[in-house]
Amino acid sequence: MTQAYTHNFSEVHRPGGTIFPSLYNIGVYNTVWLAMNNHQRAVFLLVVRTMGAFATLDLAIQQATNAAGAGVVPLVPAKAITQLTQVGGDENELIIVEVRTEELDVDGGFDNIRAQVTVAGAQVQFALIPLRGCSNWPPVPVGLWTEIVL
């Protein structure tokens, strides 16, 4: 479904699993599993601010057969960003990763996705905002937004 002029963005795009802006230590950070059974697309908006000396950041999309993460595997072909590095000057970056449901192994029962962010080398300040859209049965409930200003 496309967004009709009369639909509000908040009605046809569902947030969930946000990794809120902060300075993150070396480690692995995952969004929650996002069910795609009512959506045709998802986007992950990554905002990277400061990176400590020699820091790196990777982001990859994974799929699973349920919301508990059963059978977790990467999408094939892989949906991953080019590694961001402090040495390469990759601070203050805005990146979007888009996933369509036909990229999931639906024949294998995969209908949940999540983003996995890996920070290595030093701390990185970032945020990740997942949005699902193109719902099969619009409009999507708007209860997941903290505030909607129209």
- The residue-averaged pLDDT of 106-133 equals 96
Distance of CA 30 to the CA centre of its chain: 9
Judge residue 78's burial from the number of C-beta atoms within 10 Å of its C-beta, 0-12 exposed, 13-18 middle, 19 or more buried.
exposed
Q: According to the model, what pLDDT value does residue 10 have?
A: 79
Model confidence at 140, pLDDT cuts 50, 70, 90, reads low
> 8-22, 53-67, 77-91, 105-119: which range is least confident on average?
8-22
The whole-chain average pLDDT of the chain stands at 91
pLDDT-derived band at 76 (thresholds 50, 70, 90) equals confident
Domains of the chain: 20-135 (2.60.120.380)
Question: Please, which pLDDT band fits residue 51 given cuts at 50, 70 and 90?
Answer: very high
Cα–Cα distances in Å, from 130 out to 29, 87, 95?
A: 14, 27, 12
Give me the mean pLDDT over the 22-34 stretch: 97
| Per-residue pLDDT band at 2 (split at 50, 70, 90) | low
Mean pLDDT in residue range 119-138: 92
Q: In sequence order, which ranges of 42-149 are alpha helices (DSSP H)?
A: none
The pLDDT-based confidence of 138 (bands split at 50, 70, 90) is: low
